[in-house]
Amino acid sequence: MNAKLSLPDEALRRYVQQLPKAELHVHIEGTLEPELMFELAQRNHITLPYPSVDTLREAYQFDSLQSFLDLYYAGAGVLLTEQDFYDMAMAYMHRAHADGVVHTEIMFDPQTHTTRGVAIETVLAGLARALREARKTLNISSYLLMSFLRHLSEEDAFQTLDAALPLRETYRDLWIGIGLDSAERDNPPEKFARVYARCKALGFKLVAHAGEEGPAEYVRTALDTLGVARIDHGVRSSDDQAVLQDLIERRTPLTVCPLSNLKLCVVDDLSQHNLAKLLRQGVMITINSDDPAYFGGYILDNYMASAQALHLSHDELTTLAGNSLQASFLPQADKTRLLNLLAQAASQAR
């Protein structure tokens, strides 16, 4: 994406890169680049159904969320050991660091791994080792959001929660929240009402994917039935004026992922994406990468593609970075410190 930028775009990219920002919607399994997938396949004696990195990448043509999920779950099949999860997470942290990310809230899907016989202990140990190391060496803080797969049953989600809870103390610095992802259509938020109520009682922060392929009504039930603090995607909220009004009044953040929406045909063209309109209407919009290894860009690419397609101003890009810090689950003192750094970075670079 970089190579296509004109000179003024290069300057804008440098401007956005140096803004301190948070990434709030990224699936760690979606950061597994084809090169690392092949390396892990070889290390674990697994044969991938593609002869090369290039042919695998060429297969990343999607016409729906499900067409992506099929490849995404298959790709995760190379992850077996603690070291595999560490390597994947560390690679992401370096990419995020290069894009000026100072804080990440990362989703992981235990069911994708436990159903293959990989223990949740292995998953968490590898991810945590990378995130704790990155906190020291790259100065990026991280939280983990354990996400339930919504195409599976609520019973399965309860079992996943029960398997994870004994590890909560060990990972208290990282595992602070719960998410809901996978196939949205016909799997409405209320299917998980009881397990979300339990997670809320346990003191977890709550988020859920809603209004990506599913209707605005799912945003409504994610907010009112599940009680989430943020909506992942939520771009279809604009179909329902009352939902939109609530998002604006309650300052509920949307974690929007423009290149994901483009690749999964949620929008036909980025110039038709509603994120700029929603931002200008007063919705707390943030920009994120979702599954960057599959959708052709990390967070800075998402900012830049949006800036170009939607003519976002410097001030709007700075607001988006500020929204990401505000919308994070960081303690208020950390938010204030980072927002001050953002204000300095924005004024020195102009």
Pick from 84, 290, 301, 305 the residue near Zn ion by CB under 5 A.
Answer: 290
Q: Is 198 left (phi over 0), alpha (psi -120 to 50) or beta?
A: alpha
Which CB atom, from 260 or from 274, has the smaller least distance to Zn ion? 260
Q: Work out whether 82 is an interface residue with ligand HPA (CB under 6 A).
A: no
Q: Work out whether 27 is an interface residue with ligand HPA (CB under 6 A).
A: yes
Q: What is the DSSP string of 141-182?
A: EEEEEEEEETTS-HHHHHHHHHHHGGGTTTTTTTEEEEEEES
Which CB atom, from 15 or from 295, has the smaller least distance to ligand HPA? 295
CA distance 38 to 53: 7
Query: With CB under 5 A, what is the number of residues at the site for Zn ion?
Result: 1
Whether residue 204 contacts residue 178, with contact meaning beta carbons closer than 8 Å, is answered with yes
Shortest spacing between CB 34 and ligand HPA, in angstroms: 17
Q: Which partner, ligand HPA, Zn ion, none, binds residue 65 by CB below 5 to 8 Å per kind?
A: ligand HPA
Whether residue 320 contacts residue 300, with contact meaning beta carbons closer than 8 Å, is answered with no
Q: Work out whether 212 is an interface residue with ligand HPA (CB under 6 A).
A: yes
Q: Is 249 a catalytic residue?
A: no
Give per-residue burial for 279-291: e unless 16+ CB within 10 Å, then b: beeebbbbbbbbb
Which CB atom, from 82 or from 212, has the smaller least distance to Zn ion? 212
CA distance 339 to 345: 10
CA distance 207 to 146: 10
| Catalytic hit among 33, 82, 105, 212 | 212
Q: Work out whether 109 is an interface residue with Zn ion (CB under 5 A).
A: no
Shortest spacing between CB 69 and Zn ion, in angstroms: 10
Place of tokens 């790259």: 138
Q: Which partner, ligand HPA, Zn ion, none, binds residue 142 by CB below 5 to 8 Å per kind?
A: none
Binding site for ligand HPA (CB under 6 A): 27, 30, 65, 72, 181-182, 209, 212, 260, 290-291
Active site amino acids = 212
